[in-house]
Amino acid sequence: MIKKFIRKILGVKSPAEAAAAKRKPTVLNAKEHGIDPQLLSSNAIRVTSTLQENGFKAFVVGGAVRDLLLGVKPKDFDIATNATPDQIKRLFRRAFIIGKRFQIVHVMFGQDLLEVTTFRGAAVDSAPKDEHGRVLRDNTFGEQFEDAARRDFTINAMYYDPATQSVLDYHGGIADIRKKTLRIIGVPEERYREDPVRMLRVVRFAAKLQFTIDEATRAPIPVMAPLINNVPTARVFDEMLKLLMSGHAMACLQQLRKAGLHHGLMPLLDVVLEQPMGERFVTLALANTDERIRQGKPVSPGFLFASLLWHQVVEKWDAYKAAGEFAIPALHLAADDVLNKQTDSLALQRKIGSDMRDIWAMQPRFEKRVGKTPYKMLEHPRLRAGYDFLLLRCASGELDAELGEWWTAFMEGDGEQREHLLTVKPKDTGVVKKRPPRRRAPRKPVAE
């Protein structure tokens, strides 16, 4: 009785009241949430209205609602509905059921893909878990309020109905958007244990949205960070890629460090964050990537990882050369070493690995500015990536800027200009850093 009275005075909800409140969302109308309907894609509206016309509930959900509330055009639209995957599939001409464990439906309109998901049910204690508590499978359908409770952060758990223009908010997401706060839904330790990738996600969102991480959400991260090691490497790699290609890679890496997630977690991160020699190069590469993404230009993961690991390659390349190997085979050996090590730990896909190798292997060839070599380089299918990489090496001070300028002129020049460039004597080989001299095998005295 007294407790109830104190709660009433303080405006604090009892656990039962809190649970009941989460069954019923706060509903905001267009005036209250201020979403600009122009930011919505017509295909998202097509999907929600088709489902609704057929008697189902359907909403835009997750990151798209968050972005709409922030006045940002979402890059993709996810839809949540109470229709089952089969029911969804029947309503669209090009719809494909994806996934074995928890089925979702991909609805395609031309190139545009929308992910349509049936509301997920509450996590059940009996769901299979690994020995650290990570949920391996849970594929029950459920009510909308249960779907909301299973999402990661309050700002990612809102639903928008384009027909009524209302936002349904189950976990105080609107308030957190206004406070620019990232808050995990439920008990943070439990949620990280269920899925440790959420620790990487919170860091990515904090950097990307420039939000602060709520103290209770942030506090367990340094302690629970090692749980990420038990997540399949392919999934961690996907999340890392999202992080590095978010347009805020530098900020993300700084956040990772701040959250205590940078150490001993991912071999690649150790390399990136703790190599003093390549710091300038990596910083430039990431700044360059962020800029390209913000300008809407494509970024290849191969180029990105080739940059992140370049100084490891250089170190090994120098070592092989010092041991008497010729420059080109030494570079290939160094690339093999680095790729083999990272492929195991990072689940680097084969395609990304071969792009990286191409970019690295082109580098010494840029230093040959005579004869047919430069013309052959012009025909190389990966010339652009190799050249961008060369410019990065120049900008970082590894090579003389003159080499990059020569290549810019050669690539842009006409036949005559190119011929002239080939006769220009380079100021030097372009190499700034002093490389150890190749060790020659000592001449054996000739036997008499």
313 binds, among Mg ion, ligand ATP, none (CB under 5 to 8 A by kind): none
Shortest reach from residue 73's CB to ligand ATP, in Å:
11
Query: How many Å apart are CA 130 and CA 234, to the nearest integer?
Result: 17
Shortest reach from residue 385's CB to ligand ATP, in Å:
25
152 is catalytic: yes
CA proximity to 304, closest of 265, 359, 252, 261 = 359
What SS3 class is residue 220? coil
Packing angle, helices 383-395 and 301-308, rounded to 10: 30
Q: Determine which one of 67, 138, 147, 152 is catalytic.
A: 152
Shortest reach from residue 210's CB to ligand ATP, in Å:
14
270 is catalytic: no
Q: Is 220 an interacting residue with respect to Mg ion (CB under 5 A)?
A: no
Which residue number is nearest to Mg ion in terms of Cβ? 63
| Residue 146 token pair | 């249960």
87 vs 246, beta carbon nearer Mg ion: 246
Residue of 44, 95, 116, 197 that binds ligand ATP (CB under 6 A): 197
Query: How many Å apart are CA 359 and CA 429, to the nearest integer?
Result: 20
Shortest reach from residue 74's CB to Mg ion, in Å:
8
Query: How many Å apart are CA 303 and CA 49, to the nearest integer?
Result: 41
Q: Is 62 an interacting residue with respect to ligand ATP (CB under 6 A)?
A: yes
Stretch that binds ligand ATP, among 47-55, 101-109, 192-200, 387-395 (CB under 6 A): 192-200
238 is catalytic: no
Close Cβ partners of 11 (under 8 Å, ≥ 6 residues apart): none
Ranges within 8-67 binding Mg ion (CB under 5 A): 63
Q: Is 25 an interacting residue with respect to ligand ATP (CB under 6 A)?
A: no
Length of the chain: 448
Pairing mode, strands 104-109 and 95-98:
antiparallel
205 vs 389, beta carbon nearer Mg ion: 205
Query: How many Å apart are CA 180 and CA 209, to the nearest integer?
Result: 8
226 vs 324, beta carbon nearer ligand ATP: 226
146 vs 325, beta carbon nearer ligand ATP: 146
63 vs 220, beta carbon nearer Mg ion: 63
Close Cβ partners of 79 (under 8 Å, ≥ 6 residues apart): 44, 47, 48, 51, 58, 59, 60, 61, 107, 114, 115, 116, 117
Contact 356, 309 (CB under 8 A): yes
Packing angle, helices 310-322 and 327-346, rounded to 10: 140
204 vs 393, beta carbon nearer Mg ion: 204
Residue of 63, 85, 302, 374 that binds ligand ATP (CB under 6 A): 63
Pairing mode, strands 166-169 and 26-28:
antiparallel
Site string for Mg ion, 183-202 (x = CB under 5 A): --------------------
Shortest reach from residue 392's CB to ligand ATP, in Å:
26
Shortest reach from residue 252's CB to ligand ATP, in Å:
12
Tell me how far apart the terminal alpha carbons of the chain are, to the nearest angstrom.
111
What SS3 class is residue 158? strand
| Residue 60 token pair | 């835009």
Stretch that binds ligand ATP, among 195-203, 283-291, 294-302, 430-438 (CB under 6 A): 195-203
88 vs 157, beta carbon nearer ligand ATP: 157
Close Cβ partners of 294 (under 8 Å, ≥ 6 residues apart): 247
Residues touching Mg ion, count (CB under 5 A): 1
Ranges within 256-315 binding ligand ATP (CB under 6 A): none
What are the beta bridge partners of residue 26?
Answer: 169
Query: How many Å apart are CA 157 and CA 173, to the nearest integer?
Result: 7
Q: 158-172: buried (b, 16+ CB within 10 Å) or exposed (e) per residue?
A: bbbbbeeebbbbbbb
Shortest reach from residue 329's CB to Mg ion, in Å:
45
Ranges within 56-85 binding Mg ion (CB under 5 A): 63
Shortest reach from residue 131's CB to ligand ATP, in Å:
20
| Residue 89 token pair | 């599939």
156 binds, among Mg ion, ligand ATP, none (CB under 5 to 8 A by kind): ligand ATP
Residue of 41, 81, 118, 156 that binds ligand ATP (CB under 6 A): 156
Ranges within 133-152 binding ligand ATP (CB under 6 A): 151-152
| Residue 54 token pair | 């057929």
How far from the centroid of its chain's Cα atoms is residue 127's Cα? 28
Interface ranges with Mg ion (CB under 5 A): 63
Q: Which residues are catalytic?
A: 76, 78, 152
Interface ranges with ligand ATP (CB under 6 A): 62-63, 78, 151-152, 156-157, 195, 197-198
